Amino acid sequence: MKHLDGFAIGAADGDIGTVKDRHFDDVSYTVRYVVVDTGWWLAEAKVLLSPIAFRTMDWEHTRITAALTKAQVEKSPNIDTKKPVSRQHEIAYC
């Protein structure tokens, strides 16, 4: 999963940012979210994206296309990437 660091994340209407980290499920050890650094367009915020939102992976060009719009990402809840994502907040993040 470390190979995803730095991958560009594209939305239906432009780039969202780049992959900075991953959050794993502590029971099944699967990736529950990737942490995306949104860079300049969203005041350098970090957002969580579920791999469920990924539509295509371009390994050659290090790019992931998500089935989201920039507006959907912008309206996502604020997160603190230093704290665990609790189950009670997962619905809001998805």
Per-block mean pLDDT, blocks of 10 residues, the chain (94 long): 88 92 84 86 82 93 94 76 56 54
Question: CATH number of the domain that 51 lies in?
Answer: 2.30.30.240
- Please indicate, yes or no, if residue 90 is contained in any of the structural domains: no
Rg (CA), the chain: 12
pLDDT of residue 32: 84
- Please indicate, yes or no, if residue 91 is contained in any of the structural domains: no
The tokens for 54 are 């990924």
The tokens for 3 are 């190979």
- Please indicate, yes or no, if residue 40 is contained in any of the structural domains: yes
pLDDT of residue 88: 45
- Please indicate, yes or no, if residue 33 is contained in any of the structural domains: yes
pLDDT of residue 54: 93
Domain encompassing residue 22: 2-82
pLDDT of residue 83: 63
Question: DSSP state, 75?
Answer: T
Phi and psi at residue 36, to the nearest 5°: -115, 125
Q: Are strands 63-66 and 8-11 parallel, antiparallel or unpaired?
A: parallel
